[in-house]
Each structure stands twice: as C-alpha cells, then as structure tokens.
Structure 1
Amino acid sequence: MDNAGSINEKQKKNLTGAYPKIAKQTKLLNTLVIFAFIYTMYLAKSLLIPLFFSAFIALLLSPLVAIARKVYVPRTISAGALIVLLVAPFTLLSVQLAEPAERWLHSLPKIAAEITEEIEEISSSIDAFTTPPPPPETEPEERESSIFDWFGDKDEPDTPVTQSDKTNSVTDKIKQTGIDMGLTLFSSAPFLLAQILGCVVLIFFLLVFGPNLFHVFIRDFPVVTDKRRALVLVDQIQRELSSYIVTISIINTCLGLATAGAFHYFGIEDALLWGALVALMNFVPYLGGVASCVVLLVVGLVQFGLTSSLFLPAGVFLILNITESQLITPAVLGRSMQLNPLIIIIWIAITGWLWGVIGVLLAVPILMCVKIILANLGVFNHWIRLIESK
C-alpha cells in the first residue's frame, strides 16, 4: 500500500509539473494560429475582398428578395431587378463624374508644380527679409605660384546652385510623381473593373441560391447542433448589420448631397465630384473626414489661390461633417451601434495594412459584424465592452 501511495504521489507531482508546460504550449500554439490567420488574410486578399464585399451587399438585399418571394416573384427576377437598381445610379454617377475626374487626374502634375512654385516664392520672400545682406565682394588674392602647381590641376571655382535650379528640380520630381500616379491608376483600372464585374455576378448568385444553401447546411450538417438558435442568430445578425449599413449609407449620401449643394451655392467648381468624394470617404470614420479636408484645401488653393477664400471648401465641409458626426449620427444610430474611436482607428490601420483602400472602407462594417456576432453568441463580453467603451 505504501508503494501504491508513493506512486500516486509521484504521478500527481508529474501532472502538476506538466500543467504549466501544457499551458505555455497552448499559448504558443494560439499565437502561431493568430499569425497564420493574419498571413492568410493578407495572402488571399484578392479573393477575400470580393467575397466580403459581395456578402455585405447580399445581406442588404436578401430581405427584399425574400419579400418578393412571398408575393410569388421568382428569386432570379427579383435579384436581377435589385442589382440593376443598385448598379444603374452608380453607373450614371460615374459617367457624370468621369470627365471632371479625368481632368483633375491630368492636371495633377501641373497643380503640384504650381503649388511648389507658390511655396518657393513665399520661402524666397521670407528669406529676403530674414537673411542679412552678403558682404561686399573683394578681389581674390593671387596665390603665389609654386613648382608643385605644375604637377596638379588648378582648383576650379564651384558653380553656385541657384534657387531656380532647386525649384526646377523639385517641380520635375513632383511632375514625375504625378505622372507615375496616373499611370498606376490607369494600369490598375482593368483589374478593378474585373473585380467589380465579379462582385456583381457573385451578389446575384448569393441572392438566388444562397438562402437554399444556407438552409440545407443548417438542416443536414451535423456540425450545427442547435439548429433553431442558429437560424435566429443569423436572422438577428442580418437585421442589425443591414440596419447599420443602410443607415450609414443614407447619412453619408445626405452628407455628400449637402456638400455638393453648398459648393454649388458658393461657386466652387466640380461640386458634384467633391460631394461624391466626401460621401465615399466618410465611410472611413475620423480619418475619412481628415483626408477630405486635405483634398478640399488643395481644391481651394487651385481655384482661389493664396487668398483667404482657399479655406472656403474645407471650412464648409468641416461644418457639415461636425454636424453629422456629433449630432445626427449618434442620434440615429443610438448607443448600441457606437464604437470606441481608438479601437476604430487601430482596426482601420490593421485592415488597411492587410487589404489596402478596400480594407479601409470595409473596416467598420467588419468590426460591427464581429461585435454583433459576439453579442448574440454571448461570448467575450469583455471584448464587447472594450469595443463599445467611450
């Protein structure tokens, strides 16, 4: 019995000593899984971006397809009609904005050169007031000749680099940068159009065949144990996420229309283009508004020059943006849809690093989707409180 007791004690000690080792291995494995997941998201971005974008649009439109199905309208017809209604306004808007957008793209190098020249003129005028006058020129002293001068070249006087040479060099570099940006945009246009066409086709098939596939998965796959709860969960996620995306889209559209109307009233050129731009960039909270202000400062500088009126476009948008972000959006969305600003910026930085510009635009909808899923599953409540904290 004593031997058996001693063996049990040894086993307990071995198990007790093995627990910390197992815990460390588990943490290391979890860390490796997280890094592998991040690497996969980065590597497969050309596949995942259309999938996520199409899934969000399908979530928005699927309730309308379900309503049409109840009145005996086939899914194919209702899905096709919804896609036409969705694509047609954006197509017409793109046609209207193509000419001013192309004009601004072609004039970017010239605008950059003009801004550089203005800055150089201001800098030269400031230097003229602050730099003391040069001392009077004196005759160069003649150097005594030496026998060693016969074996070497005489020092040539350095050619001074003038301010105009520096300006021309900077201007040429900026022009080249603008040309490179234009070439990059034109070269990536076919790939972008192909992705857009793929998204449209994928949205159509998700609307037509997605619900049946989902119900078969819930009914027949053994991985889903609580089928009723899964259906309720997906329905609630769909309703809340659709409500959020539709609300934000309406608010940003109204902001863009208000900006375009105000710009037209004050005589700012290409008002519709800048209204569409700020509406699109406002899908990126905080950072989108800052970027819009910077763009509109350049617009004011190009149209009005170095006068007080250059702040007019950015000032008008800033007033509208503050009204929207501080009064309208919190009142419409309510407390349950609010997110911590610092969490949003960190998440935008992560998704932008992973997926570029499209990742920045999809950052907040993805974060909202994660928050809704965690809240409905009743897990990680501390993370939900962190995301919602103010």
Structure 2
Amino acid sequence: MPYKKFSTPTALFAGFLTLAILICALYVAKSLVLPIIFAAFISLLCGPAINALVKLGIPRVINVIVVLSLMMGVIFLALSMLTEPAQQWWSKLPDLVKNISQEISKVTSDASKEQGSILEMAEDISLGEMQTNTALSLTKSVITETPTIFSQLFIALLMAYFMLNYGRTLFRQSLKLLSNFSIKRKAVELVQAIQQDLSRYLATITIVNIGLGIAVGFALLALGVEDPFLWGIFAGLLNFAPYLGPMISMVCLGLVGFIQFDSSSYAFIIMGTFIVINMIESQFVTPTSLGKRFNLNPLIIFIWLVIWGWLWGAMGMFIGVPLLVCLNIILERLSMFGNFYQVLRTPETKKE
C-alpha cells in the first residue's frame, strides 16, 4: 500500500487535537502525575549523594533510607519552627483589611453619598466577624486540603524510595526489549543527560534559593522586620518560580512592612531592598552558577509558567521550570528535531 502524505491542514489539526487531549489529560490526572514528578525530582536531588555513599561500600538501601529521612527531618524541623510566627502573621490579616478600609475611607471622604454608604457598610464589619470568617475559611482549607497534601507527599516519598533503589534495574531490563544497539545507546545517553543536567540544575537552583532566603532574612533583620527569616524562607521558596514568584514576594513583603510600621514609605523601602537582592541573584549569581546551557529565554519561561499555573496552580509554577529544562535536554539530544531546542534559549546562547 503506497504511503499517503497528509496535507498541512490535516497535520496541524492532528497536532492541535493531540495537544488538546494532552492538556485535558494533564488537568484531570493532576493528583496522579504530581506525586510522580515530585518523586522524580527528589530522586534526582538525592541521587548524587546516594551514589557517593554507595562507592564507600554502604548498601544502597540503607543510603536511600538515611538520605530521605534526613531530608524529611530538615523539612519538618523547619516547618515546626515557622508554624508559630506564620500563625501570628495570619492573625494580623483582619487588621490589614481594617487599615486598608480606613485608608480608602479617608481618601474618598469627599465622594458621593452612594459611595459613602458603601464604605460605611464596609467599616461597620466588626473585627470579630472578620476573625470568625478568617478562622472558618482557614479551618475549611486545612480540613479539605491537608489530607491531600500529606497523602501526595507520602506517595511521592514512597515512589522516590523505589526509584532510587530499583530505577536502574528497571531501566536495564527495559533496554533488553530494544533490539537495535544504536537505539539502546541513544536511550542510555538521553537518560544520563537528563539525570546529570537536571540534577545539577535542581541542586544549583536549590542552593541559590537558600542563599537568597538567607540574604533576604538578614536584610529584613537589619530593617527591623519581625520574623525576618520566615519571610526569607518564603521568598526563597517562591523564587523556584522565576518572575512570577519574586513579584508575589515583593508585594507580600511590602504588605508586611505596611502592617508592622504603618508606613507606605517604609513598605517601599522593604520592597526596594528585595528588588536589589533579587536582581543580583537573577542577573549575576544564577547565570554564573548554571552557565549558558541553562540560560533559557525569559519569554518562554514566563509563558510556560502561566500555562502550568493555569493547569496545576501554584504547584504547576514550582515544577514548570525543571520540566522546561528537561524538555530542552530532550530536544537537544533527539536529532529528529534538529536545532529546535535553541528556540528555548536566549539569543546569546545560539550557535553562529
């Protein structure tokens, strides 16, 4: 039977249809796919340390258990230390709402009667009602989302344990199904490139964000902000989502300064300090640490994060850039796509 060549409109329609099905599948299967992705990231982060311990003669199973336990111990210790100050700041939200309402009423005191009546209705809301509503919403969110978060975290840890212990064996057994030696070699090279480059990216960006959080914490400490390292950790975590995360951190730090000092000028000082620290990190530290290989196009990153944020919310933005790095590695290794991977990178990294 002769080969039938599809027309360009047919190919485009098939491509868009495939993309639409893939997007719907990712949206529906979020609770299933997210633990798998997090498990893969955890295994990539812990893999180098575990491999180094294996070379010392320690059994792999023991290494996996010890490294995962240490990682989770550090996370839970940090969460336990930050729970109390985070609750204190959360309790200040009603005061912030009241202050903003009062500022609006002062600015618009000469407005029309209808506008004045709306503001009076807003001012008549008692602080106790705000606290009650806040407590109810917080309780509802905790009750509904906490089991899901902990169950997905537990599943991700179990998957990471099995990936670290048995992932290599499964990969070797899968290679036996391939008859062509060149395809086997390309598969091995692709997996090794993803493991090495993505683990390097994750480890480097984690260290950079830890440094950013420490720098922001000391800067806020010098400015007299309460619980400075709580907000430093907050800024470091949000920095895993480039551009969008720092914007949210800047706004939140400005609100923190306004709540504590009741001064818009001091809030702008805090925001400006964070912008300076973030610019140093994003323009000098991160590019120098990662090199040109991971210097992705900012426009591509922004659009990519918006798409994943729309699909999976905040967690989608956090894992968006590592997924983009992985896509860049795959496109670079698969020669069938030519040099298309260079589209993802900044103009400075293109080959002449």
Give TM-score scaled by structure 1 length. 0.80
> Is 293-302 or 187-196 further displaced after alignment?
187-196
| 1:92/1:172 CA distance change after superposition, 3 Å | closer
Q: Is the 8 A contact 1:113 1:174 kept in 2?
A: no
1:40-55 to 2 correspondences below 5 Å: 40-55=25-40
CA-atom RMSD, angstroms?
2.8
- Report the residue type matching 1:25 in the other structure: T
AA in 2 matched with 1:90: I
Task: Report the Cα offset of residue 287 of structure 1.
Answer: 1.0
1:309 lines up with 2:266 in the alignment:
yes
Please report how far the alpha carbon of residue 113 of structure 1 lies from its aligned counterpart in structure 2 after TM superposition.
2.2
Pick which of 365-374 and 263-272 moved more.
Answer: 263-272
Structure 1 residue 224, shift from structure 2 partner:
7.9
The reply to whether residue 186 of structure 1 matches residue 171 of structure 2 is: no
State the Cα distance separating 1:170 from its structure 2 match.
11
Match of 1:94 among 70, 76, 79: 79
Separation (CA, whole Å) in 1 of partners of 2:51 and 2:139: 44
Match of residue 345, structure 1, among 302, 313, 322: 302
1:386 aligns with 2:351: no
Equivalent-residue separation in structure 1 for 2:12 and 2:129 (angstroms): 50
Is the partner of 1:116 in helix, strand or coil?
Answer: helix
Aligned counterpart in structure 1 of residue 288 of structure 2, from 331, 334, 337: 331
Query: What residue identity is the alignment partner of 2:228?
Result: A
String of CA shifts for 1:244-297, please: whole Å, max 9, x gaps.
111111111000001111111221101111001000000111111111010011
CA–CA separation in structure 2 for the residues paired with 1:344 and 1:87: 29
CA–CA separation in structure 2 for the residues paired with 1:248 and 1:275: 16
- Counterpart in 1 of 2:254? 297
Q: What CA distance in whole angstroms lies between the structure 1 residues aligned with 2:318 and 2:269?
A: 27
1:199 aligns with 2:184: no
Q: 2:204 aligns with which of 243, 247, 264?
A: 247
Q: Conserved in 2, the CA contact under 8 Å of 1:303 and 1:310?
A: no
Letter in 2 for 1:372: I
Equivalent pair of 1:257/1:275 in contact (CA under 8 Å): yes
Between the aligned partners of 1:330 and 1:389, the Cα distance in structure 2 is 12
- Of all paired residues, the percent bearing the same amino acid is 33
Moved more, 170-179 or 298-307: 170-179
- Cα gap change, 1:353 to 1:170, in 2 (>3 Å): farther
Q: Does 2:218 match 1:266? A: no
TM-score by length of 2: 0.89
Q: In the superposition, relative to structure 1, how do residues 195 and 163 fare at CA in structure 2: closer, same or farther (>3 Å)?
A: closer
Which residue of 2 is the match for residue 120 of structure 1?
Answer: 105
Deviation at 1:41, TM superposition (A): 0.8
CA contact (8 A) 1:218 1:224 kept: no
Contact kept, 8 Å, 1:259 with 1:317, in 2: the verdict is yes
Q: Note if 1:35 corresponds to 2:13.
A: no
Amino acid at match of 1:198: I
Q: In 2, Cα distance between the equivalents of 1:372 and 1:87?
A: 29
Q: How many residues align?
A: 344
Query: What is the alpha-carbon distance in structure 2 between the residues aligned to residue 76 and residue 100 of structure 1?
Result: 38
Letter in 2 for 1:46: S
* 2:240 counterpart residue number: 283
User: Partner residue of 1:71?
Assistant: 56
Q: Which residue matches 1:165?
A: 121
Deviation at 1:45, TM superposition (A): 0.5
> 2:26, 2:311 within 8 Å by CA — same for their partners in 1?
yes
SS in 1 for 2:37: helix
Change beyond 3 A, Cα 1:186–1:223: farther
User: 2-side partners of 1:367 and 1:333: how far apart?
Assistant: 15
Unmatched runs of 5 consecutive residues or more in structure 1: 1-14, 135-157
Q: Does 1:256 align with 2:207?
A: no
- Residue 350 of structure 2 is matched in structure 1 by none
Cα distance in 2 for residues equivalent to 1:363 and 1:177: 34
**C-alpha distance in 1 between matches for 2:125 and 2:56:** 69
Relative distance call for 1:297 and 1:72 in structure 2 (3 A) is same
Determine the C-alpha separation between the residues in 2 that align with 1:324 and 1:161.
48
> Which sits farther off after the overlay, 215-224 or 233-242?
215-224
Q: Is residue 178–residue 184 contact of structure 2 (8 Å, CA) maintained in 1?
A: no
Q: 1:109, 1:179 within 8 Å by CA — same for their partners in 2?
A: no
